[in-house]
Amino acid sequence: MTAVRIVEVAPRDGLQNEKVNVTTETKLALIDRLAQAGLTEIEATSFVSPRWVPQMADHDAVMRGLVRRPGRKYPVLVPNLKGYQAAVEAGAREVAVFASASESFSQKNINCSIDESFARFAPVFESAKADGVAVRGYVSCVVGCPYEGFVPPEKAADVATRLYRAGCFEVSLGDTIGVGTPASVKRLLDKVAAHVPLDKVAGHFHDTYGMATSNVYASYEAGLRIFDSSVGGLGGCPYAKGATGNVATEDVVYLMQGLGADTGVDLDALIDVAQWISEKLGRSVQSRVARALLAKRGS
């Protein structure tokens, strides 16, 4: 059976744009419930300035309060060396850095150019190598940008290649505003695969136009076996107006079950987590798979 890795991003990417403060207790409970449901890689938090992302202000408390279950990884996002040092001090053993395929989005999101962002990453890679800390890379706006529109696949592939060659063990391609289609995603992967092995590439899709699951399937058919997702479809981007949530983890797991691929995730337990965190946030479950299976339970 084909193995598919899922990187669960709800505790960080899923919650970062929530308007109502989510308590540290709730974040820790979410992370542990996800671990118990079978997720082995759960992005726990982000060591960015609270001024820019207030929801992640408790990053230190989250990392120090984790129940670290065997076989589970708890990566965190870091913007620079200062964030990296704070993350490692709090117990992080895997970090992620983020670059953009769009110059405009890079300026809006992290207040620097693409080249300047790589200059910021250089000491992170150097320190991580010395510390034995793994570094993952994110590329945002790989298909489209809220400020520039269409992003050429060659440009996204170039940024992905730079991250990989700089020392990232894996590069996640983010359709930040959810404008990708199976055709545009395949064109992107063709360009990336010319420079980065596809077993080192992950897909990170948003569902703004309802294409996220289709794009996961297209990527799977093209050879991808790593996907980022967020339980309940939580998420969005504070710097991309109109961008909706990440592809729901339960939708990805359901799809992979249908394809005969093994994610190691208990779908029923995952649905329970989606319902629980949605109630905590004062909303109904957003993902179609969760709604359908919850309705079936009640019938």
Q: What is the CATH number of the domain that holds 18?
A: 3.20.20.70
139-164: b (≥16 Cβ within 10 Å) or e = bbbbbbbbeeeebebebbbbbbbbbb
- Comparing 127 with 110, the larger pLDDT belongs to 127
DSSP 12: I
- Give the pLDDT of residue 283: 87
User: Are residues 158 and 110 in contact, defined by beta-carbon separation less than 8 angstroms?
Assistant: no
CA dist 216 and 201 (Å) reads: 13
| pTM of the full structure | 0.96
Length of the chain as a residue count: 299
User: Are residues 102 and 148 in contact, defined by beta-carbon separation less than 8 angstroms?
Assistant: yes
- Give the pLDDT of residue 12: 97
CA dist 283 and 281 (Å) reads: 6
Which domain, by its residues, includes 241? 2-298
pLDDT digits (tens, 9 = 90+) for 201-238: 999 999 999 999 999 999 999 999 999 999 999 986 54
Which residues is 204 bridged to in the sheet? 174, 228
Which residues is 7 bridged to in the sheet? 41, 228
Domain count, the chain: 1
- Give the pLDDT of residue 298: 81
- Mean pLDDT, to the nearest integer, of 42-69? 96
- Going by C-alpha positions, the residue among 221, 207, 214 that lies closest to residue 176 is 207
- Mean pLDDT, to the nearest integer, of 73-85? 97
Catalytic residue list: 237
Place of tokens 């989606």: 274
- Give the pLDDT of residue 284: 85
Beta 144-145 vs 149-150: how paired, if at all? antiparallel
pLDDT digits (tens, 9 = 90+) for 191-203: 999 999 999 999 9
- Mean pLDDT, to the nearest integer, of 152-161? 98
Q: Roughly what angle, to the nearest 10 degrees, separates helices 153-166 and 114-131?
A: 30
